[in-house]
Chain A
Amino acid sequence: EDQVTQSPEALRLQEGESSSLNCSYTVSGLRGLFWYRQDPGKGPEFLFTLYSAGEEKEKERLKATLTKKESFLHITAPKPEDSATYLCAVNSNSGYALNFGKGTSLLVTP
């Protein structure tokens, strides 16, 4: 059975203090790993898709990387507007469902 574990559950950073969020996964054949951002009361907003180990994607202050067992979302010099819950999900060869982790709640203070 596919499993996705995100850590830490919550993270508090000062503005400008860079850090990384972790997503560990076990799947029966990875079809894709996805990162989303979710603000309170809203639907998840798509950030990145990673397909194979060694792949990296960047968008503004965010950079996602992928290995055979985990993915990292690096946040460089975060701003208060980066505060949100970041969700990791995997899609495997077993079907078309996204299997989500519980998310990391990020708070960036001025």
Chain B
Amino acid sequence: KAGVTQTPRYLIKTRGQQVTLSCSPISGHRSVSWYQQTPGQGLQFLFEYFSETQRNKGNFPGRFSGRQFSNSRSEMNVSTLELGDSALYLCASSLSGAEAFFGQGTRLTVV
């Protein structure tokens, strides 16, 4: 059974640019969540989607947005990148929002 796939694995962007990250969940999973992981703050929840609807949103500025498609694949977008957005972005999928299985993450570096 294929796991959660995130692309790309690594990204380097310049301040002020925008970036889109992609996540393909485990087949059959309809819930997709996004997390930001940094050494100082640990893992922090960004948002969660279920059947194309955002059910929960964390305490992040509006520059962070996401969406989910009808095939459950999800994307997150960060606009007007700041140095502090450098982090490992993790996607997790679950059947209904409980037990979550994570992808390998996208390492974003903002320079």
Q: Is A79 an interface residue (CB 8 A)?
A: no
Number of interface residues of A (CB under 8 A): 23
Q: Is the CB of B55 within 8 A of A96?
A: yes
- C-alpha gap A41/B55 in the complex (Å): 29
Contacting residue for B45 out of A36, A41, A46, A99, CB 8 A? A99
**Known: A44-B90, A103-B42. Contact between A97 and B99, CB under 8 A?**
no
Residues of chain B in range 62-111 having any CB-CB distance to chain A below 8 Å: 90, 92, 97-105, 107
Residues of chain A in range 27-65 having any CB-CB distance to chain B below 8 Å: 31-32, 34, 36, 41-46, 49
Q: Is the CB of A43 within 8 A of B103?
A: yes
- When distances are taken between beta carbons in the complex, the residues of chain B under 8 Å from A46 are 99-102
- When distances are taken between beta carbons in the complex, the residues of chain A under 8 Å from B102 are 36, 43-46
Size class of the contact patch on chain B = 20 to 34
Q: Is the CB of B104 within 8 A of A97?
A: no
Q: How far is the CB of B54 from chain A (nearest CB, A)?
A: 10
- C-alpha gap A91/B55 in the complex (Å): 14
Q: Is the CB of B56 within 8 A of A95?
A: yes
Q: Is B22 an interface residue (CB 8 A)?
A: no
- When distances are taken between beta carbons in the complex, the residues of chain B under 8 Å from A49 are 98-99
Q: Is the CB of A43 within 8 A of B104?
A: yes
17 interchain pairs, CB-CB under 8 A: A34-B100, A43-B6, A43-B102, A43-B103, A43-B104, A44-B102, A46-B101, A46-B102, A49-B98, A49-B99, A95-B56, A97-B33, A97-B56, A98-B33, A98-B35, A99-B45, A100-B35
Interface of A toward B, CB cutoff 8 Å: 31-32, 34, 36, 41-46, 49, 87, 89, 91, 95-103
A-B pairs, top 9 by smallest CB distance, nearest first, are A43-B102, A96-B97, A97-B45, A100-B43, A95-B56, A102-B42, A44-B102, A96-B48, A43-B104
